[in-house]
Amino acid sequence: MKIVVLDGYTLNPGDLDWKGMEAFGQVTVYDRTSLTDVQEIIDRIGDAEVVYTNKTPLPREVFDACSSIRFVGVLATGYNVVDVAAAKEKGIPVSNIPTYGTAAVGQFAIAMLLEICHHVAHHSDAVHEGRWENNADWCFWDYPLIELAGKTMGVIGFGRIGQATGRIAKALGMQVIANDEYPNKSGEEIAEYVTVEELYARADVIALHCPLFPSTEGMINRESIAKMKDGVIILNNSRGPLIVEQDLADALNTGKVYAAGLDVVSTEPIKGNNPLLKAKNCIITPHISWAPKESRSRLMNIAVDNLKAFTDGSPVNVVNP
């Protein structure tokens, strides 16, 4: 069996291996493949029966040109880069990786929040630059320092990752409220379920952990921000297009939103004209919530398990049944 990995570098920059996949056949791994050159994608797939992609698109014309494809594995949870309808028409199952990064993404959301509250990196840099040594007082701080205990965390999207964030917030002494289309018992143990309107009104911190659907695209906008508390903190390490970026930048610059921690933006890599790059109190990281080695190793193992299930005749994690 021929297996092609179109863009393996972010998953495995060298600290993991592909041995699990190699047990199933001949594996060709490309670090990166063009996101726009469809012919390059077609040429690299060739007569491969199994194709793995992370962000390399697989539109209908790829499936039309590569008739040998029998299985597509997405090396991520989101699968919008694949024309799943075209794959289904040709009887090709597409499997994603739904649960590998729960702990890591929840942890990262809180890491961004703690950085906003304490600016640890900034103050460490200041000490190394000699400012403490030469300070007239025995301590100093350049930003307001925020205690989270007693404040309210509002989580929009209270599935596995949202609940992971909620548990940590609760351990920090925060009251947790949540909004989700499908409330569940496990969530009730962590948070009080409320309407999104009530969440906007009550939360001191809002964390986005919901999928990107037409109903959620641009949900954080001028109108919804106006319903929030003055000085609210917004966290997003889910999907960039959940936020209307100019509206958030405006709110940061006026102080309506005190700070934002973002690991995702609408276009990635970020473009130089993104208004959030010049907004006040805006932390932006390069989509790395998912990337601890432990999390990536779990992703690799699940990707191999998906392939094994396919070869056994019972594919799992199929997004186009």
Query: Could you confirm whether 268 is annotated as catalytic?
Result: yes
Which residue among 118, 167, 202, 287 is the active-site one?
287
SS (H, E, C) the chain: CEEEECCCCCCCCCCCCCHHHHCCCEEEECCCCCCCCHHHHHHHHCCCCEEEECCCCECHHHHHHCCCCCEEEECCCCCCCECHHHHHHCCCCEECCCCCCHHHHHHHHHHHHHHHHHCHHHHHHHHHCCCCCCCCCCCCCCCCCCCCCCCEEEEECCCHHHHHHHHHHHHCCCEEEEECCCCCHHHHCCCEECCHHHHHHHCCEEEECCCCCCCCCCCECHHHHHCCCCCEEEEECCCHHHECHHHHHHHHHHCCEEEEEECCCCCCCCCCCCHHHHCCCEEECCCCCCCCHHHHHHHHHHHHHHHHHHHCCCCCCECCC
Query: Could you confirm whether 122 is annotated as catalytic?
Result: no
Which residue among 119, 209, 239, 298 is the active-site one?
239
Query: Could you confirm whether 287 is annotated as catalytic?
Result: yes
Full-model pTM: 0.94
Confidence class for position 254, pLDDT limits 50, 70, 90 = very high
pLDDT at 120: 98
- Predicted confidence (pLDDT) per residue in 149-196, tens digit: 999 999 999 999 999 999 999 999 999 999 999 999 999 999 999 999
Which domains does the chain possess? 2-100+293-311 (3.40.50.720), 102-284 (3.40.50.720)
- Predicted confidence (pLDDT) per residue in 232-241, tens digit: 999 999 999 9
Which residue among 189, 197, 268, 294 is the active-site one?
268
